[in-house]
A and B are shown apart, each in its own frame.
Chain A
Amino acid sequence: MATPQPLPAGDAVIEVRDLNTRFGTAVVHENVSLSVRPGEIFALVGGSGTGKSTLLREVILLQPPVSGSIRVFGQEVIGLSDDEALPLRRRWGVMFERGALFSSLTVAENVGMVLQEHTELGEGLIRELAAVKIALTGLPADAGAKYPSELSGGMRKRASLARALALDPELLFLDEPTAGLDPLSATGIDELVRSLRDGLGLTIMMVTHDLDLLWRAADRVAVLGRNRIVGVGTMNELSQADDPLVRQYFYGPRGRAAREQAWKPK
């Protein structure tokens, strides 16, 4: 395998151009374009059914769009065969909304399986590294021996994150990282996302509904609505935007509360 070329500074890690998606006659995306820069935490937001998760699935090659271009690490991903996509897939990790842990394996085996599949590491080191990833996501040490069905929702998300981190990816996709979590666990995820980016230098693209997470962790946010992107920028920029959809999103009662929370002096 060729060594991945380091990206020239300032080049986008993910570059989506003129993306069109339709399910039958229902239009989901119409000429959507966005770019994610190296080392940033990029968030996709929007109401239900605006195609956030669909866009994410298209970027990670789970679903082909009708037309358009998606470049990840500078490489066009649309139309790649599984063999061609493998080197790319090793460079990113995905955390699914409901965890998607393999239910017949323990958490440690879930993480170890990725390492077994893609590296030549010995059994002992794989077990240790699985434990490292599990610890990195803030799970207690005994969680590794448990099966996914024995974990709470929040722990399952963390375990899923540990699996996403197994190969030390450069790019991390998070689908609704805080959905269904209690406020305390959700705050834990906010901090975790930031510390992963700061500590491991990851680029993170996430889909979320959680305004607190947006204020605390996201560097830039894209708002999807009316089949396209209606606003991109930092949370501060977006909160001053004129677009009615963006205003609606950020100035609902919850949006205001989250904003006030974020502005509170620490």
Chain B
Amino acid sequence: MELDVETARASEGTIRFRRWVGALVGSAVVVVALLTAMESDAGRRAEQALVRASRLSLDLFGRIAASGAARSFQASGLQEALAIGATAEARTIASIDEPAVARGQRAVARVERRVSARLTETVERMTAAPGPRSGLDETTRTGITASVEELQALVLRQNEQVDTADRFGTRQERAMFALILTAIAAVLLGVAGLTGPSRAGRRALGVAAVALVAAVAWGASGLVF
């Protein structure tokens, strides 16, 4: 009779042990599925943010180069016009002490003043910012007309994308580590399944449960931080 009771107790313990193994194996699979989806999604978002950051860098370099070339041309043209005007004034002043050529030099100075004024107008006309209906493609138009404020805004956006890539990269790393913990839990569950409801089996089951909980917590921490 005592033997029957012990056998019954042993059988009950085995069933409970199997239930735990089954529940933890199933849970491990669910955790793996969730962590894989999370890792995959975080990886994609990190990559997308990196692509955007790279493209914004290209935008920045392109706009700086294009607007720089256009502005440089405008500035050198206006400087040339200003220099001609300054030459006219210098010529007028210098000719005061040279009466023999003063009239001729003043005539030249008058010409230079008008040339300066007309050249300034012409440079401004030639370098006027093209509007959206200028016929120029949008990339080139926004490139040559880029302002310092626009470039600063692009720098901010680019930095934001890099930060986003960092954040999702961290999430991906945590999900991967959590997957490793889940794999360890799965191995321990396998050991528990092989050894059965012995002391070693129960210990393996307990450590597997702890590893699984740690994996969930570690993975979830990637969503918070």
The answer on A and B forming one complex is no
Please report B residues at the A interface, Cβ cutoff 8 Å: none
